[in-house]
Structure 1
């Protein structure tokens, strides 16, 4: 894990914790990473995202993408929540543009749509989709392969195999596209 050669990225240690970024991860210029953040292999964090782990931790698995303008945060220990609310995001997860991901868990291959909100202690199951603009309220649990939508989000239906396959096409696209953006940044002399 390395924080070297991250042009235009603000990497800020706090409370003795510093972000740990896998060498193969792409972090776009304009991003701010604070504190106890861990980002896995081949993941990507796109332009102008904020990942702030100043009061708990944020873990992002492998081949996961956090798209442009998204905010990822967590909550500290508090009454009724002795362990706080870390934000744990698994492998092969898609997080759409301008999402708010706060103190929740997103299991492997989960999907958070554009502008959606996932709140403290909520859980998005594997291969599940939180629709664009939806708000998954505190403590709600989406089971694997479910589609939830609305504000507050409610179960709509189970996802068919083609929808699951489509999400994985998106994961592959972002992993490949991150390589192109890293090369373009280098070619532009921003490294």
Structure 2
């Protein structure tokens, strides 16, 4: 991975984390145990400290940055979808930030809260624990259900297993010109994790 020292401060990555080789880490960055950092993510600790706590994931093309003299934190098991921007905020343990959402300076996303895809969480806004916030600017819509919290926890576990899979088997290769006749299957399938709308439909159809 491209990692850069600045002002004598070097990024720190726990040996059990996985950081994709195209992700960029600069300065005062701390990636904790079992974390996943996806392709083309940028973690810039060139003004203030950037922290990913144990088991958190920051997916493809995410940006994690902060203002001078401040700290931005993604707490334990935090889950950040593709293309999201976190700037000078705190995302609580087990929280979910949807794809392409933006969370601004001084905002706090509470424990196990959800921020919907494409939402804009303005500076200083607080999303209470276990609630859903959506919109631009984001507003708190309702409390989350037990099913939604269970779905999120499973998705985070899936990314934690991806950390292990990447550490064990991901390597650069030359693409094949055609698929081999005995092509192996991936170790995951649709039983592992599904989109939330499918999960809700399945749960509604489940016996009481």
Match of 1:38 among 19, 22, 30: 30
Q: Unmatched 5+ residue regions in structure 2?
A: 175-208
Match of 1:55 among 34, 47, 52: 47
Match of 1:161 among 136, 146, 149: 146
Output the CA distance in 1 between the equivalents of 2:55 and 2:136: 29
Q: Report how far residue 16 of structure 1 moved.
A: 1.6
**Matched residue, 1:147:** 132
**Matched residue, 1:170:** 155
Runs of 4 or more off by more than 4 Å in structure 1? none
- Greater RCO, 1 or 2 (C-alpha within 8 Å, sep 6+): 1
**Matched residue, 1:111:** 96
Aligned ranges for residues 1-191 of structure 1 at < 5 Å?
9-76=1-68, 84-186=69-171, 188=173
The normalised TM-score by structure 1 is 0.88
Contact preservation (8 Å) 1:99, 1:112: yes
> CA-atom RMSD, angstroms?
1.3
- Describe the superposition over 1:64-97 as per-residue Cα deviations: whole angstroms up to 9, x where unpaired: 0000110000101xxxxxxx43111100111000
- Describe the superposition over 1:152-183 as per-residue Cα deviations: whole angstroms up to 9, x where unpaired: 00111010111111111011000111222233
- Describe the superposition over 1:121-175 as per-residue Cα deviations: whole angstroms up to 9, x where unpaired: 0000001000000000000001101100001001110101111111110110001
The normalised TM-score by structure 2 is 0.81
- Describe the superposition over 1:14-48 as per-residue Cα deviations: whole angstroms up to 9, x where unpaired: 01211110000000121000000001100010111
Structure number with larger C-alpha Rg: 2
